[in-house]
Structure 1
Amino acid sequence: MGIAIMTSGGDCAGMNPGIKRFVEYSIEKGLKPYLICDGLEGLIDNRIQPATHADVAGIITKGGSVLRSSRSARFFEPEYRQQAYDNLKAHGIDMLVVLGGDGSFRALDVFYREFGIAFCGIPATIDNDIFGTDYCLGVDTALNVIRQATDQIRDTASSSRRAFVIETMGRDCGYLALVSALTSGAEICLIPELPYDLDSLKKRFQAEIADGRTYMIAIVSEGVDFAPQLTRWLEEEVGMEARLTVLGHTQRGGSPTVLDRLRAFEFVTIAIDALVTGSNDGVVFYKNCQMATRSISEVVSGRSEISPVYLEEGRKLTR
């Protein structure tokens, strides 16, 4: 029985450990594993190859995806989905494991309903914004990239008596920014989920400066779209020289942390077991320290939310 794996959407650390586990566990289960390169585009263009242990040797330490990834407008056209299906049938592939996010899962759900190719999704996005799971692959590595950068910036901030604004990724979800702020001792945190009050912040900082504060760290989610403005505000309104650092795509890369390697191992194992036992359109989730699968309809019907405990603490950094 043929089973294939692909990475879709934005890349993240943890994908390569997942690919390695997929090949090794598929062979262990008596399945024939295949690798799909370049995501949905590769599915359409038949960039599909059988996999052996040699294909995944040594990739566990690497960030990103050795299979590469893509987003595909063509996949939303019926003729190209038919082409993708024909490619899979030619290889004898009946099951797919997909590392990606909501968009990838929705695309494969349509594919399953049209052609019956069973799939299991594994949440893999540094935004940590997939409904129903507390954790997505890549999050811990991204948080550690931010932590290291923030710790280093704090060193120079304290030495130069400056304020530093650090912009994190996260699109519409402030998880990376909020968790980074709470774990690095930032003085400001702005995220889409929480309103902020500049007047209140100004009064607080002026009082703290009068009491001896010489520097500060602000962490801002890109979804707020306010990092440059906040940098100017700190100089013009608070009176502290300020600098902006945009971490950008550094957060996607880097060798996966132990947690991301372990979660990849667990996610892929559950995904393959689910497919072998008859699950056709599920997504693996991690909730309250437990792992299982739920239907794609459940996953796409809700909206991911940050822990209320984190939000309550984060609110103190917005005013």
Structure 2
Amino acid sequence: MKNIAIMCSGGDVSGMNPALKHFVEYTKSKNITPYFIYNGYEGLIDNHIEEATYKDVAGIITRGGTKIGSSRSKRFLEYEYRKVAKENLDNLGIDSLVVLGGDGSFRGLHQFYKDFGIKFCGIPSTIDNDINGTEYCLGVDTALNIIKVAIDSIRDTASSFKRAFVIETMGRDCGYLALITALTSGAEMCLIPEVEYNLADYEKKFKKEIEDGRTYFIAIVAEGIKQDSSEIAKWFEETIGMEARVNVLGHMQRGGNPSIYDRLMAYKFVNYAVDALLKNQNESVVCYTKKGFVYKNIDEVTKPYRLDTELIKSL
């Protein structure tokens, strides 16, 4: 094996650039030529593939996002475009890929391998942390710390003005970010897609807390809940009797200077991914478990993800 390419697919996360930097350094130490595929599957189809050098990764370890771009590709679902992608790789002597992405990206690689035998190893990379079989996905720690800083700042003004603040995190289908930040920020309310809720259940409790001296509330909600955040704020004003504001954190959660932990995990994930390909692990995903790093197959990582039931019980 002489040539290996890396690409990013789906949503960007902080930690991708540190992964790209180490990929270049680690492959070169193994006398392998590294290649970058720019703009995900779209770049793979359009032949935006270039040999990567130390110059390409100089100074990027501190940057969020991904220098080589990312995308979601409907074209790659079609065999004719996958065939074009295969020809592009053949022309450069590339038969192995490392892909930073989510379960949808890995399913695409699985089909690519079945079609043409292009070996791959996936690195779970999504701030939703919703890939089955891994305890941790690249980018999660940075996202959680960005949310933490936002909540701590909002708490200052919430307490000063005696308001309720409804803070919306990302999480269309998975409430991981909302759940973890609510538990670690001391929020009074947490609403996530996985758990049915009735606002009436909070009414008596919150009014009693106000009688006992509470002067503000922090409510953390995932974007995928059944109600809009503004409806939750309206409920605070009309039912609880407290002025309320909404803060939608949005895409700031996906960017920012990668945390130390994400930089370290990027380093380790890349080592395991490249080693898997060198050891003829032809189609696998590197997962981080309570027992350490392990390789899992596509069938396992694409099963429905479930939040930690112990943490859900705390809501």
Give the gaps of 5 or more residues in structure 1: 315-319
The residue number in structure 2 matching 1:182 is: 183
The residue number in structure 2 matching 1:142 is: 143
Q: TM-score, normalised by structure 2?
A: 0.98
> Given the alignment, which residue of 252, 273, 276 partners 2:275?
273
The residue number in structure 2 matching 1:52 is: 53
Deviations 1:213-244 (A, max 9, x none): 11010000011042111110000011000000
Partner SS for 1:93 = coil
The residue number in structure 2 matching 1:157 is: 158
The whole-number CA distance in structure 1 between the counterparts of 2:181 and 2:197 is 17
The whole-number CA distance in structure 1 between the counterparts of 2:65 and 2:291 is 25
Deviations 1:67-110 (A, max 9, x none): 10000111111111110000000011010000000110000110
Q: Does residue 214 of the first structure (1) align with residue 215 of the second (2)? A: yes
The residue number in structure 1 matching 2:262 is: 260
The residue number in structure 1 matching 2:36 is: 35
Structure 1 residue 197 displacement after superposition: 2.6
- Which amino acid counterpart does residue 258 of structure 2 have in structure 1? P
The whole-number CA distance in structure 2 between the counterparts of 1:48 and 1:290 is 33
Partner SS for 1:79 = helix
The whole-number CA distance in structure 2 between the counterparts of 1:208 and 1:298 is 45
- Counterparts of residues 165-244 of structure 1 (less than 5 Å): 165-226=166-227, 227-244=229-246
The residue number in structure 1 matching 2:21 is: 20
Q: Is the 8 A contact 2:6 2:98 kept in 1?
A: yes
The whole-number CA distance in structure 1 between the counterparts of 2:286 and 2:311 is 24
Alignment root-mean-square deviation, CA: 0.8
Deviations 1:258-297 (A, max 9, x none): 0100111000100000000001110000010500111112
Give the gaps of 5 or more residues in structure 2: none
Deviations 1:153-190 (A, max 9, x none): 00000000000000000110000000000000100000
Partner SS for 2:314 = helix
Q: Is the 8 A contact 2:123 2:286 kept in 1?
A: yes
The whole-number CA distance in structure 2 between the counterparts of 1:180 and 1:120 is 31
The residue number in structure 2 matching 1:247 is: 249
The residue number in structure 2 matching 1:290 is: 292
The whole-number CA distance in structure 2 between the counterparts of 1:100 and 1:141 is 16
- Which amino acid counterpart does residue 42 of structure 2 have in structure 1? E
Structure 1 residue 123 displacement after superposition: 0.2
Structure 1 residue 311 displacement after superposition: 0.8
Partner SS for 2:121 = strand
Q: Is the 8 A contact 2:193 2:226 kept in 1?
A: no
The residue number in structure 1 matching 2:99 is: 98
The residue number in structure 1 matching 2:112 is: 111
Structure 1 residue 135 displacement after superposition: 0.4
Q: TM-score, normalised by structure 1?
A: 0.97
Partner SS for 1:236 = helix
The residue number in structure 1 matching 2:85 is: 84
Runs of 4+ in 1 over 2 A off after TM superposition: none
The whole-number CA distance in structure 1 between the counterparts of 2:291 and 2:128 is 19
The whole-number CA distance in structure 2 between the counterparts of 1:225 and 1:37 is 37
The whole-number CA distance in structure 1 between the counterparts of 2:90 and 2:77 is 19
The whole-number CA distance in structure 2 between the counterparts of 1:228 and 1:93 is 50
Q: Does residue 61 of the first structure (1) align with residue 62 of the second (2)? A: yes
Partner SS for 1:218 = strand
The whole-number CA distance in structure 1 between the counterparts of 2:27 and 2:114 is 24
Deviations 1:131-161 (A, max 9, x none): 0001001111000111000000000000000
- Which amino acid counterpart does residue 114 of structure 2 have in structure 1? R
The residue number in structure 1 matching 2:74 is: 73
